[in-house]
A and B are shown apart, each in its own frame.
Chain A
């Protein structure tokens, strides 16, 4: 059974640009969540989608957005990149929340 797949693994962008990250969940999983991981702030929740609907959103500016498609694949977009957006972005999927989420390997974004 394939795991959660995130692409690309690494990304270098310039300040002011925008970026789109992709996540393919485990087959059958309809809940997809996104997290930002930095050394200073740790793991912070960005948003969660279930059946194409955003159900929960973390405390991030509107530059961070996401969506989920009918096949449960998800994308997140960050516009007008700032240096502070450099982080590991993790996607996770679950059949149901209390089963636990399965995480992908992440996308390492570096903003220069």
Chain B
């Protein structure tokens, strides 16, 4: 079945370091892809999205490109801040049915 796999955390970085969180997916069709972020004690916030192959989603300095050939949607940021510390979830969804399939989440900790 369809699934999403993320790199295991926790990922610990120093402020201003470069961030990559790997995400790969298995899908029988052509889903839309998302990154969500969850801060402690809160729900999930949509960070960015891409709806078709080669689309690049971007928001708040974060970027991810929908790579159909490698079935990947890696999250990147050029310079992380302490405030980026959170858990990041990669997810996919098809156009019908409203079911998001999530990866297991990757915890990011940024030290000053």
Contacts and interface: CB of A to CB of B under 8 A. Distances in A.
A70 interface: no
B104 interface: yes
A70 B101 CA distance: 27
Contacts of B44: 90, 92, 103
Contact of B100 (A50, A55, A101, A105): A101
A8 interface: no
A106 B43 CA distance: 6
Interface stretch (A12-20, A40-48, A76-84): A40-48
Contacts of B98: 31, 33, 48, 50, 55-56, 94, 97, 101
Given A33-B100, A105-B43, A97 B93 contact: yes
Contacts of B49: 98-100
Nearest to B94: A97
A56 B104 CA distance: 21
Main secondary structure on chain B at its contact with chain A? loop
A109 B108 CA distance: 26
B81 interface: no
A103 B36 CA distance: 10
A50 B104 CA distance: 27
Residue in B97, B101, B102 whose Cβ sees the most chain A Cβ within 10 Å:
B97
Interface residues of B, number: 24
Interface in B10-48: 32, 34, 36, 42-46
A50 B97 CA distance: 9
B99 interface: yes
Residue in B43, B46, B100 whose Cβ sees the most chain A Cβ within 10 Å:
B43
Contact of A45 (B51, B101, B104, B105): B101
A97 B46 contact: no
Interface of A: 4, 6, 31, 33, 35, 42-43, 45, 48, 50, 55-56, 58, 90, 92, 94, 97-106
Given A48-B99, A56-B97, 15 more contacts: A4-B43, A42-B105, A43-B105, A45-B101, A48-B97, A55-B97, A92-B44, A97-B95, A98-B32, A98-B49, A98-B95, A100-B32, A103-B46, A105-B42, A106-B43
